Amino acid sequence: MYLPAAFVESRPEVIAAAIAAARIGELITLGPAGLDATTLPWLLEPGGEHGRLVGHLARANPQWRDVDRAQEAMVIFRPADAYVSPSFYPSKAEHGKVVPTWNYCAVHAWGPLVVHDDAAWVEALVRRLTARHESGLSRPWSVDDAPPAFVASMVRAIVGIEVPITRLQAKWKLSQNRPAADIAGVRGALASGSASDRALATVMAPLSGEPPA
């Protein structure tokens, strides 16, 4: 991705937290028909230098069969984004030389696509994914709440996938190229916006000299 120095994010713990916050990401691969993409929930787990992404695809989805094994797969996560109006900048009143833009956090991960067409591996993954996403609910659902035969049939309908991360880039475009007053103005405006706006405002808090919400 285009990555100006001001927007580089390289802290592993911050990137891992962003992947967890995004929850879903776009799997992009190259196959005989060209580029293909599927939106999936992922888990980032230990393994190698950068970790590994694990998830699953519907067995009927041709992406796992058609992928060019000689090419890397790519997974894109975007945990937060927000429109930035020129009216958010105090400098607008000073000189008017401002334009709209978009602030965002983005993580791009590359690696080979590994397919796990094994029922035990897939069921274990489903259980980990379920535990991750049900953990915050007042009445969390468990795989064991469903009949075993039904679970087995659902597991047969999917295949597990893994992307051992060989390359990782993260871009935090948070108005770092603006004066401090403009950064604070953007952060303040976003703090009262949509859920995504507020999430980005929280990420921007340290840049504006304020503690995270």
pLDDT for 212: 40
Query: What average pLDDT score do residues 15-29 get?
Result: 95
pLDDT tens-place string over residues 93-118: 889 888 999 999 999 999 999 999 99
> Range with the lowest mean pLDDT among 11-15, 81-85, 96-100, 103-107?
96-100
Residue 156's contacts (CB-CB under 8 Å, 6 or more residues apart) are 59, 119
The model's confidence at residue 30, banded by pLDDT at 50, 70 and 90, is very high
Assess if CATH 2.30.110.10 describes domain 5-83+102-179: yes
pLDDT exceeds 50 at position 126: yes
The whole-angstrom separation of Cα 70 and Cα 188 is 47
Q: Domain segments of the chain: what residues?
A: 5-83+102-179
Q: What is the pLDDT of residue 206?
A: 83
Q: How far is CA 151 from CA 94, 125, 144, 156, in A?
A: 63, 13, 8, 9
pTM of the entire structure? 0.90
* 3-state SS, one letter per residue, for the chain: CCCCHHHECCCHHHHHHHHHHHCEEEEEEEECCEEEEEEEECEEECCCCCCEEEEEEECCCCHHHHCCCCCCEEEEEEEEEEEECHHHCCHHHHHCCCCCEEEEEEEEEEECCEEECCHHHHHHHHHHHHHHHHCCCCCCCCHHHCCHHHHHHHHHCEEEEEEECCEEEEEEECCCCCCHHHHHHHHHHHCCCCHHHHHHHHHHHHHHCCCCC
pLDDT at 97: 85
Is residue 66 within 8 A of residue 73, CB to CB? The reply is: no
How many other C-beta atoms are found inside a 10 Å radius of the C-beta of residue 159? Answer: 19
CA 27 to chain centre: 11
**Residue where the block lists tokens 């911050």:** 14
How far apart are the C-alpha atoms of 103 and 7, rounded to whole Å?
10
* pLDDT, position 92: 85
153: closest CA among 122, 115, 129? 122
Query: pLDDT tens digits, residue range 132-187?
Result: 999 989 999 999 999 999 999 999 999 999 999 999 999 999 999 999 999 999 99
Tokens in use for 207? 């840049």
CA 58 vs CA 91, 93, 116: distances in Å: 51, 53, 12
* 182-208 residue pLDDT tens: 999 999 999 999 999 999 999 998 875
